[in-house]
A and B are shown apart, each in its own frame.
Chain A
Amino acid sequence: MDLIQTFLNPEILQQVWPMLLKGLWGSVLLALVVLPLAIGIGLLIASVVYQKHKFLNRILVAYVDFLRAFPPLVLLIFIFYALPMVGVELSPFVAAVLALVLNGSSYFAEIFRAGLEAVPKGQMEAARSTGLNSRQAMVNVIIPQGVRNVIPDLASNTLEVVKQTSIASVVAMDELLRAAQLGQSLTYSPTPLIAAAILYVLLLWPLVRLISRMHRVTIPT
């Protein structure tokens, strides 16, 4: 009972609830803007890499590897705090979108690349021999199969991107974690933080379950 009084105090919860909801909306909005951009750019990069153009591939693989090696928070801090010193000033929301899209697109590109590579070579040849040009063959034949190959990985990276929106709190964008931290400093209680964690679980648990279901395991006893 004491635990509930400390960690999930109903009165404090009532007090900070509107704040948390507003923050939650900020997180959702950020995710909704970032995801399509990151997925789109990732697919575009993977499709270009698929053409095996020597020079372009070098650049794109460097882009992908560099951004995968780079903590997204470092990227965000750089964009938000370093760029203004050379006159590029971005709002917290735009900075967060930029950092998350740069990071997310590199992961999505890598996933799509693996998916496209797993499509048998004969598919491209067959598509081209029916008279499709290479762009049509990509869009109508290769990409649909390639994407299907990696749906579980796409789902789990989507989950990662949604969770990563929480780093936007560091540049004071109004999202769920920041709302919870503000709530905590207003009420001197850990309740808002715990409530935010629970909200994340409630929001993302269906996706987590779905991903687990995609690789269901049976072990003979």
Chain B
Amino acid sequence: MEKITYYFFNFELIQPYLPQLWSGFLLTLAMAVSTVVTGIALGLVLAIIRAYQVKAINALIVVFIDVFRAIPQLVVIVVVYFALPAINITLSPVIATIAGLSLILAAFSEEIFWGGLGAIARGQWEAARSTGMSFSQALAYVILPQVLRNSIAPLTNRAIGITKGTALGSVIAVPELLNVASSVQSTIANPTPMMVSAVLFCLIFLPFVRLTRWLETRFNPVR
């Protein structure tokens, strides 16, 4: 027991490193928020453009989302960070991580919004158009509000899955929570920092995981 406390809950030993861990936590939080905001906004824009069904544009959108759904998060981040400099696009590790994850989240959320658009009953379109609304008005005032509501649960799930990927930034030396924790761990040869980071990660994501359970019962669209 003493051994476990010594190795995993050694708070004396990590005292000096707490500010470092805290700033890692804040960076993780900031990256998570930026990823969610940019990713979902971009996904929504793509879904709206796709609703107009211009063949050439839709083909491009489908290629975009297929590619970003097929490539692993870590591969996207590594490619953005290490391959783009070859054509003189050099991004900081933080920006590279946020950009990579946002593109992935955009692809997945486009797919969710698009699925939501398809799930709206045809009668909603017809009723909206018959009141004299144009296609765009029907989309904006009648269809999209319903789509957004139905998308909340799957979107939250997906957003959690992808924002957890901020931990992957540690691979390209983003000083986020995991990176700080593992470097402190090797400095003091004690895994307590990893335990602390585990608790902090749960602090960020567990509320959202619980939220999805609640959302699923609250907003579950009738199938």
Out of B114, B115, B135, B197, name the residue touching A221 (CB < 8 Å): B135
Residues of B within 8 A of A65 (CB): 206, 209-210, 213
A1 within 8 A of partner (CB): no
- In chain B, positions 142-165 with a C-beta closer than 8 Å to chain A are 160-161, 164-165
Residues of A within 8 A of B205 (CB): 68-70
Residues of A within 8 A of B161 (CB): 160
CA distance A3 to B67 in the complex (A): 19
Please determine whether B75 and A197 come into contact, CB atoms closer than 8 angstroms: yes
CA distance A125 to B38 in the complex (A): 49
Residues of B within 8 A of A193 (CB): 75, 78-79, 82-83
Size of interface on A: residues with Cβ below 8 Å to B: 55
B178 within 8 A of partner (CB): yes
Interface of A is mostly: helix
* Stretch binding the partner chain, chosen from A39-47, A81-89, A135-143: A81-89
Residues of B within 8 A of A164 (CB): 72
Please determine whether A85 and B74 come into contact, CB atoms closer than 8 angstroms: no
Minimum Cβ distance to chain B for residue A206 (Å): 9
Please determine whether A197 and B71 come into contact, CB atoms closer than 8 angstroms: yes
Interface of B is mostly: helix
A-B contact count (CB 8 A): 159
B133 within 8 A of partner (CB): no
A145 within 8 A of partner (CB): no
CA distance A197 to B71 in the complex (A): 6
CA distance A159 to B104 in the complex (A): 14
Residues of B within 8 A of A83 (CB): 191
Q: A71-B178, A196-B75 are known contacts. Are A215 and B115 too (CB-CB below 8 A)?
A: yes
Residues of B within 8 A of A82 (CB): 8, 185, 191, 194-195
CA distance A3 to B87 in the complex (A): 8
Please determine whether A169 and B178 come into contact, CB atoms closer than 8 angstroms: no
Q: What 0/1 readout, one digit per residue, does chain A (198-213) give for beta carbons within 8 Å of chain B?
A: 0011011101110010
B218 within 8 A of partner (CB): no
Closest to A164 in B: B72
B97 within 8 A of partner (CB): no
Minimum Cβ distance to chain A for residue B17 (Å): 15
A28 within 8 A of partner (CB): no
B7 within 8 A of partner (CB): yes
Residues of B within 8 A of A221 (CB): 53, 135
Residues of B within 8 A of A81 (CB): 182, 185-186, 191, 194
Q: What 0/1 readout, one digit per residue, does chain A (161-182) give for beta carbons within 8 Å of chain B?
A: 0011111011000000100110
Q: What are the 9 A-B residue pairs with the smallest beta carbon separation, nearest first?
A: A217-B118, A82-B191, A190-B83, A69-B205, A163-B72, A71-B167, A166-B72, A71-B164, A204-B70
